[in-house]
C-alpha cells in the first residue's frame, strides 16, 4: 500500500457509505481512468496518477488537492512555478518553518494573507 492509495481508498469508501456514486467504477468513470487502474492505485500496485487526475479525484471527493498531491509525492505545477521564481528564498523559508508547530505556521499565514506584517 502507499500513503496516497491508502488515503484515496479510505476517503472513497467513507463517501461510498452514503452514496453509490463513489464506487471504484463510478469514480473512475468520472475522472477518466479505468476502474482497474484506480483499484491498483488504491492497493499500492500502481504509481499515483498525474497531477490532473489527482486534482479531478480531489474535486470529486471534496478533498484538498495539495494534500492529495503531497501524499502522492508530488507538488502542483502552480507551486513549482512559485518556487522557481525565488528558489533560495522559498527553500530557506520552508526550512525555517519545518519545525514550527502548526498553530505558529497558521498564524504566519494569516498575518501574511491579511497584511499584518
Question: What are the sequence ranges of the domains in the chain?
Answer: 3-75, 86-114
The one-character DSSP state at 34 is -
Position 59 scores a pLDDT of: 98
Judge whether 77 and 51 are in contact, CB under 8 Å: yes
- The CA-atom distances, in angstroms, between 20 and each of 12, 13, 25 are 10, 10, 10
Position 98 scores a pLDDT of: 95
Position 18 scores a pLDDT of: 83
Report the C-alpha dihedral over residues 88, 91, 92, 97, rounded to 10 degrees. 160
Position 47 scores a pLDDT of: 97
Position 8 scores a pLDDT of: 98
Low-confidence ranges of the chain (pLDDT < 50): none
Provide the CATH topology of domain 3-75: 434 Repressor (Amino-terminal Domain) (1.10.260)
Amino acid at each position: 500500500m502507499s500513503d496516497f492509495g491508502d488515503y484515496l481508498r479510505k476517503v472513497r469508501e467513507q463517501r461510498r457509505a452514503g452514496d453509490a456514486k463513489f464506487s471504484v467504477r463510478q469514480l473512475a468513470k468520472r475522472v477518466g481512468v479505468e476502474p482497474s487502474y484506480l483499484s491498483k492505485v488504491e492497493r499500492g500496485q500502481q504509481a499515483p496518477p498525474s497531477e490532473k487526475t489527482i486534482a479531478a479525484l480531489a474535486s470529486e471527493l471534496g478533498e484538498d488537492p495539495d494534500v492529495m498531491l503531497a501524499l502522492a509525492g508530488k507538488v502542483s505545477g502552480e507551486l513549482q512555478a512559485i518556487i522557481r521564481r525565488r528558489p533560495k528564498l522559498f527553500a530557506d523559508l520552508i526550512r525555517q518553518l519545518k519545525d514550527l508547530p502548526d498553530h505558529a505556521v497558521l498564524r504566519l499565514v494569516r498575518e501574511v494573507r491579511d497584511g499584518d506584517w
